Structure 1
Amino acid sequence: MQQLDMFGSELHEYLICVEPDQQTTNKVIQLKHLLHTSIPLSDQVLKSKPHISLCYFEASDFSDELIILKIKQALAGIECFKIGLNGCELWNNGSFILKVDHTESIHMLQKQLSAHFKGVVQTLHLTIARTISRKQFADFSANDFQYSGNFSCDSIVLLKKSGNTPYQLLHRILLSSMK
């Protein structure tokens, strides 16, 4: 979807997210492939990089530096913290997800982002697959997908995409070290 704003500048999609550590990433990829043995998943789902979406919005391409500045302001004072994953769930919209523990650190991160951006995700999760029907879900055991673990969140990632192209890394913001 490429639209022009009133100044003739192209709109882009932006995603602020957390990328899990390599161990968690490998586990999510393993879960995707396990699910794929029962339910055919698209290449897009199989190849999508595991992440936890924090905020999604659209803006003009001339906004990159301002967006980066606003993210840095929003994240000032946020220290590295642990993100816990605890079990899986199929949502009514067909998303099959790993549940993120809603901790005080997560709440503070969402609050800080909400002060600077619209489109902050309220129910944080890590998606395994999308568009799974209840009937398909009945054909396999969710017990095979129960996962509990945690990883350190030491940075927040800003991704950008235009049209149907994949998201590209625009900027990585390192969180301050724990004292």
Structure 2
Amino acid sequence: MGKILESITNTVIAGFVLAVILLGLQSSWFANYEVSSVLYVRYAHVLSGVMWIGLLWYFNFVQIPTMPSIPDELKPAIGKHIAPKALFWFRWGAMLTLLTGLLLAMMNGYIKDALSLAEGSRMIGIGMWLAIIMWFNVWFIIWPNQKIALGLVDALAEAKPAAARKAMLFSRTNTLLSIPMLLCMVGQQNGLIL
């Protein structure tokens, strides 16, 4: 068991093996292609969403508030090693969440109604638009500014604090938006209709 748990790759593989075993116990899921394909896309959507929002909340509830109390000599470990890797998973979690969410809406036949905020799909539609805004913030505001703040791209030293602040403010914006976005995503499936 130590070999599995000592490696994140092995741990994740073992998790998927257990998931496949559980799916195997439900052979009816394999019999209906439409049901199983929607299930797999929804599962990928939830997994990637947990990665994305989990890291968003890690940055906002743990890393950002803790940084002022970290001694200056230890801060480069965060900026050079932890933050770039976390930001990789953060932005690709956002991308996969968005793509699987849009695919799920297409597969279930409500993408047009949701994106146009049609009656009966407004709740999920608002959630989708909030997620699209959040995705945009990740890829086009947070990540470009984080690259400057962390010194991953060439920039003047005086540009780093402003870039760090902008990335933080948009990350906080995404944290704010994540709360109603998650309500909209689960609300539609549980009968909340706008």
TM bin, normalised by shorter chain, reads: under 0.3
Q: What TM-score does the superposition give when structure 2 sets the normalisation length?
A: 0.23
Q: Looking at secondary structure, tell me which structure has more strand per residue.
A: 1
Q: What TM-score does the superposition give when structure 1 sets the normalisation length?
A: 0.24
Q: Looking at secondary structure, tell me which structure has more helix per residue.
A: 2
The structure number with the bigger radius of gyration is 2
